[in-house]
Amino acid sequence: MPDYLERTREAWTKMSAEYLEPGRRHWSTDEITWGIWGVPESELGALGDLDLLRGKDVIELGCGTGYVSSWLARRGAKPVGIDPTPAQLANARAFQAEFGIEFPLIEAGAEEVPLPDASFDLAVTEYGASIWADPYLWIPEAARLLRPGGTLVFLRNSPIASICTPNEGVATDRLVRDWFGMNRIEWSSHEPEEFHLTTGPMIRLLRSCGFTVEDLIEVQAPVGAQTRYEYITAEWSRRWPSEEIWRVRKEG
């Protein structure tokens, strides 16, 4: 088990109640949106042609309340959600019962998933494995789980947002941490560590796992956007991308 995982799981056990309201809000709609600004998939096109999702095997790596998988299930995909935090899986199970959409949920970290090689056509994560797991562990695992030609789509904070954000503070218009060597960050002693690998090493890692980069979508906050998160403002995210979505394909 990775050294950080127990602490992350404890933190997510405590935070899980706060994710019921956003979880229910997301489960309540059919519209696919991305990230803290809720930008519609119809504008970003991260998943490609949604009609092609029908019948596809999908794994969500760090599914939390499971709403991303629910959106894909409604489009005919066959998702499996994995998450290491039992309390978050309990939330996902409760929403499955409430909304009548069922798919398998497995307790596991994205670094080691108890499923066979080449089982999925699409792997997806929105603020799941993409920031909570070490990319040097979860990206090779995603490559193992995908079939040749399969796609990995992940949303995370942009590295530029991370280098502009001080510990225990809000993003500024200054570079406040080093770019070189950035990956594992402890924002404060009372929060679990996160992973924010910079762009060059991320491309190199993806390529070493057999992925070709198809797109890197820099997400701009819409006019008038609001968020309950305190580490970033809409004003900042109108000027610079606070989030990014990678779409990469496993070579066939």
Burial 39-74 (b: 16+ CB within 10 A, else e): bebeebebbeebeebeebbbbbbbbbbbbbbbbbbe
Minimum CB separation of residue 208 from ligand SAM in Å reads: 20
Which residues contact residue 74 at a Cβ distance below 8 angstroms, ignoring those fewer than 6 apart? 30, 101
62 vs 79, beta carbon nearer ligand SAM: 62
For residue 9, count other CB atoms closer than 10 A to its CB. 20
Q: How far is the CB of 6 from ligand SAM (least distance, A)?
A: 10
The only residue of 19, 103, 231, 246 in contact with ligand SAM, by rule CB under 6 A: 19
Residue 226 in tokens = 């609001």
Interaction mask 62-101, ligand SAM, x per CB under 6 A: xxxx--x--------------xxx--x-------------
CB of 126 to ligand SAM, least distance (A): 4
φ, ψ at 162 (rounded to 5°)? -65, -40
Q: Which 216-235 residues touch ligand SAM, going by CB under 6 A?
A: none
Q: Nearer Cβ to ligand SAM, position 60 or 121?
A: 60
Query: 20 to 59, contacts with ligand SAM by CB under 6 A?
Result: 23
Q: Is 135 in the site for ligand SAM (CB under 6 A)?
A: no
Q: Residues in the chain, how many?
A: 252
**What does the alpha-carbon distance between residue 214 and residue 247 come to, in Å, rounded to a whole number?**
6
In angstroms, the CA 187 to CA 141 distance is 26
- Cα–Cα distance between 249 and 252 in angstroms, integer? 9
Q: Are 175 and 198 in contact (CB under 8 A)?
A: no
Residue choice 109, 150, 159, 241 for contact with ligand SAM (CB under 6 A): 109
Count the site residues for ligand SAM by CB under 6 A: 24
Give the nearest distance from C-beta 192 to ligand SAM in angstroms: 8
Pick 174 or 190: Cβ nearer ligand SAM: 190
Contacting residues toward ligand SAM, per CB under 6 A: 5, 8, 12, 19, 23, 61-65, 68, 83-85, 88, 109-111, 126-129, 132-133
